Structure 1
Amino acid sequence: MPGRRNVLLIVVDQWRADFMPVLGADFLRTPNLDRLCREGVTFRNHVTTTVPCGPARASLLTGLYQMNHRAVQNTVPLDARHMGLGRALRNAGYDPALIGYTTTTPDPRTTGPKDPRFTTLGDLMDGFRSVGAFDPNMEGYFGWLAHKGFPLPARRADVWLPEGEDAVPGATSRPSRLPAELSDSSFFTERALTYLKGRGDKPWFLHLGYYRPHPPFVASAPYHTMYRPEDMPPVVRAASVEAESEQHPMLDFYLRSIRQASFFERAGGAAAELDEADIAQMRATYCGMMTEVDDCLGRVFEHLDETGQWEDTMIVFTSDHGEQLGDHHLLGKLGYFDESFRIPLVVKDPDRPQEAGRIEAAFTESVDVMPTILDWVGGTIPRACDGRSLLPLIEGGASHPWRDVMHYEFDFRDIFYSKPEGDLGLAMDECSLCVVQDAKWKYVHFAALPSLLFDLEADPQQFRNLAEDPGHASVVATYAQKALSLRLRHADRTLTHFRATPQGLEERTTP
């Protein structure tokens, strides 16, 4: 396509795939996302290849599986040798801008132990130019609030308490103390419009990140009452926490350890104690925050329309990971359930308008986003990349055989706010799992704990583990072999295509 080639990569936080109207969530109002789905391709079977935020964003922005980038948990450093999207775009002639965050802990070999970035969950990935960072401690946002005249409380996180001195922390229909025009979603949107208007006619790449619908689960007015709890999809869980915990020791640990305070400011009690009414209210608030993000995207899309850039811009909409939302008695993103790993992916490719509105059912993964963008702008996809460009799928079908399973990982080693190792009697490097999953079977392999097998046709909600059933031993063996073969195929290949020969260095290409 001649002329400018702009890219808008929208990365929301903690947005489940089944909360998309185009995929069946008819209770949700997202007209701007709906427009993007009408004009792009929506991927029905898309997963993040790892959780939580830091590892997920490392995979999204390097195209590497966790087993290769090894930033295995929030706070674990990302090796500086890995080529991230920002650096790769610079090699292609772009000055990649970033609004939001990447939750990247720096390589300690590139700095010193007193670096303040080691006191936070993570900072910005190398290669991007920040034009509106949330900052590790959200200082940029809090400064913006103060500049706008909002009185900051002594404990800054109290801005996310519900309105009213008599408000009880927890799931609530009360609005946030922040008006919508001062929400973090509005902050990111203003930063995006400032950047785009300043860019003028020059081609651009913008990573536009939004914090929502990440908790705290409290929405600004009028979004706090936009959805009724009784209209929310019902929770999917075992009859009791005890029954749920019987499935696996790791699941039992998280059911005992996750606290409501991570999701509702100053709330007490365990997340597993939430009753169905609280979960329904939490989901209504979650939807309200989604619609607020959608309204904010509408302002960005309107600017692209008014300036004639909509037709020239590839737009990618995705999330870093999902959210359990009370399913299986869990909150957050963890473990092996689909609610944590299935996420949205929509790609509007202005080169292929004939594919607009199509829903693609092939198995796709977050590691595919980086090579897709680089392919579209004419950049170089790193040899080490585990993902594949989605442009052949967007064109209506892969030119080569596509993957036959989805793959994702979770590492549950100790970090400062979660301590599974001693509870489970495991060493640090034994706290990992990987999943291979297709339409029929889901196999979960642990490094040092019992494996799991689910028949997704008979048991789509994954309550019955068949791994120990002798009648399914051959299925376990087959899918364990699939997992092993996948790991062998994707072992680090940064330099494995080079050869020393009598004539000198030879570089082979992949067929």
Structure 2
Amino acid sequence: MNSKVQIRFCYNLFLICTIVFMVSCNEKKKEIAEQPRNTTRPNVLVLLTDQWRAQATGYAGDPNISTPHLDSLAAISVNFKNAVSGMPVCSPFRASLLTGQRPLTHGVFMNDVQLDTNAVTIAKVFHKEGYDTGYIGKWHLDGHGRLQNVAPGKRRQGFQFWKGNECTHDYNESVYYDNEDPTRKIWDGYDTFEQTDAAIGYIKERKLADNPFMMILSYGTPHAPYHTAPLEYRNRFDPKKILLRRNVPDSLKERVKKDLAGYYAHIAALDDMIGKLIKNLKDTGQFENTIIVFTSDHGDLLGSHGAYKKQQPYDESVKVPMLYYIPDNLKIVAGERDALMNSEDIMPTLLSLCNISIPNTVEGIDYRPYLEGKEEVGHATLLSCVQPFGQWSRSQHGGREYRAIKTQQYTYARDLNGPWLLFDKINDPYQLNNLVGNEGYASVQDAMEKLLSHRLKETGDEFLPGMEYIKKWGYLVDKTGTVPYTN
């Protein structure tokens, strides 16, 4: 073969190879286009509920409620069975979730005050890393009046997609604002259903996107009012058949049975919606690449210890459900964990699971090494109440400023006058026997006091009267001297 023929042969071969390669690439591009993207970095979906105590699920053993969808999720998730809300009130938890900081650092240590718009938040960090960020539902971090719009920009703390409202508990006439539109809108029907559908719509739109998403879906239920779930759910629960916890006093039993029936109705509806969300993720091929966190901002006493709502250091108030569904490729084994994950630990853990650097503003624990079996952390955690505001948290209902340390076995609380509560979870699971001053537990009380003092020193908490912190942050109170607000 002469040189010219050789050159032409090689050239034709090159053309053939090029054509084959281009056809192959086009076929590959078509195949990729038809599949969900974001296969290297996981999506993040946080399912945040309001006032759902840890005890009130099927997988936690509550005899009154069936939560089949959550039970299925729990079976394939990491279950932090001792997780707590470190300051069991709506706004403080939410601010800690967003910043990874404790309340005395970010300053939201009560409801209805604004989180600093310059805060380094979870949404800002994820967005900087190329994630789309979305928020649906109750916000409660703006401090500019409930039912008001949270204006686009800094006040939304890094969330781009938005269908939310500062705060409302009218679940059947629920106000929201849609992205950039300043017009007040109303969810069409029970907002738990409508917010779920909005989240599904957002997730479907992200299916073929080049970048992953981080969304918080913030439900207002099962927070009171307890009796406003759709009738089909309320009809499932007969107050007469409700089994009460042993720490509900006789004087409240009839009321609590009625309220629990409504509370469980909200929970049953939420469970169905969580099932609907997970089915959609599976149907769209996104489930295996999505980290799902299910939790609540605090619990609800619902008659236990003679009180309702939250803020107090009892388990019904401070313990929250905390499930982490983590995709298989991260090689983290599902199952129960003993560590006492706290509110400020969620942000650093999620960032770490997504291989995103944790800002130095964060105070919480990164639990990824713990989940991988490389570290032992979370043996004890801090609980706080700066000022007892709220209908069921004021002094006439036993509310007070306190600092508490919680371990897997003990809860020890000190108020401004000294030791207040000491409970042994193993021997007294309903916290009926206060062991402060009990000679048989003197060494335990001393050890817990030292642990609490060390943690307060470590976190720079001087444990001052609540009004001192209100003055420090420039907050105001109304004419009654009990309800905070900001300008």
Pairwise TM-score range, normalised by the shorter structure: 0.7 to 0.9
Gap change, CA 1:119 and 1:320, over 3 Å in 2: closer
Whole-angstrom distance in 2 between the partners of 1:142 and 1:60:
27
Task: Classify the secondary structure of the residue corresponding to 2:198.
Answer: helix
In structure 2, the gaps of 5 or more residues are 1-37, 177-185, 462-487
Deviation at 1:127, TM superposition (A): 1.4
Quick one: which of 398, 401, 406 aligns to 2:381? 406
How far off its partner does 1:95 sit?
A: 2.7
Matched, 1:206 2:225: no
1:82 to 2:119 alignment: yes
Kindly tell me the number of residue pairs found equivalent between the two proteins: 409
Mapped to 2, the partners of 1:141 and 1:98 lie a distance apart of 20
Indicate the residue corresponding to 2:105 in structure 1: 68
The whole-number CA distance in structure 1 between the counterparts of 2:161 and 2:115 is: 19
Q: Could you say which residue in structure 2 is the equivalent of 1:432?
A: 401
Over the matched positions of the two proteins, sequence identity in percent amounts to: 28
Amino acid at match of 1:299: K
Identify if the C-alpha distance between structure 1 residues 92 and 291 changes in structure 2 by more than 3 Å, giving closer, same or farther. Answer: same
Correspondence for 1:455:
424
State the match for 1:508 in structure 2. Answer: none
- Is contact 2:310–2:393 with CA below 8 Å preserved after alignment? no
Shift of 1:476: 2.8
Which amino acid is 2:79 matched to? Answer: T
Greater displacement, 229-238 / 19-28: 229-238
Q: SS where residue 285 of structure 1 aligns?
A: helix
**Deviation (angstroms), 1:318:** 0.6
Give the superposition deviation at 1:357.
4.5
* Cα offset, 1:374, TM superposition: 0.8
Correspondence for 1:127 among 149, 158, 161: 158
Aligned residues of 2:298 and 2:317 also touching (Cα < 8 A): yes
- Partners of 2:129 and 2:356 within 8 A in 1: yes
Shift of 1:130: 4.5
- Farther off after superposition, 284-293 or 81-90: 81-90
How far apart are the structure 1 equivalents of 2:146 and 2:66?
39
Q: CA RMSD in A?
A: 3.3
Q: Indicate the structure (1 or 2) with the bigger Cα radius of gyration.
A: 2
Q: 2:191 aligns with which of 180, 184, 188?
A: 184
User: Residues 155-195 of structure 1, C-alpha deviation per residue, up to 9 Å, x if partnerless?
Assistant: xxxx9xxxxxxxxxxxxxxxxxx9xx821101211211222
| 2:292 alignment counterpart | 315
Change (3 A) 1:29 1:356: farther
Q: CA deviation at 1:144?
A: 7.4
Deviates more, 1:335-344 or 1:223-232: 223-232
Give the match's secondary structure for 1:22: coil
SS of aligned partner of 2:341: strand
- Whether the 8 Å CA contact 1:104–1:125 is kept in 2: the answer is no
- State whether residues 46 and 293 of structure 2, in contact with CA within 8 Å, keep that contact through their aligned partners in structure 1: yes
**Which of 481, 484, 487 is the equivalent residue of 2:456?**
487
Q: Deviations over 1:334-353 (max 9, x none)?
A: 21111011010111110457
Secondary structure of the residue aligned to 2:48 is strand
**Which whole-Å CA distance do the structure 1 matches of 2:304 and 2:171 have between them?**
34
Distance 1:472 1:26, change over 3 A: closer
From 55, 64, 82, the counterpart of 1:18: 55
1:85 CA drift (Å): 1.2
CA distance in 1 between partners of 2:163 and 2:118 (Å): 26
- Relative to structure 1, the CA distance from residue 134 to residue 57 in structure 2 (aligned partners, 3 Å threshold; closer, same or farther) is same
Residue 52 of structure 1 is matched in structure 2 by 89
* 1:293 alignment partner, SS class: helix
Question: Quick one: distance in 2 between partners of 1:101 and 1:28?
Answer: 25
Partner AA of 1:412 in structure 2: Q
> Over residues 52-107 of structure 1, what are the superposed CA-to-partner deviations in whole Å (9 max), with x where a residue is unaligned?
1001111222111223222111023333443221122122222310011231135x
Structure 1 residues 439 and 375, CA gap change in structure 2 (3 angstroms): closer
Q: TM-score, normalised by structure 1?
A: 0.72
SS in 1 for 2:385: strand
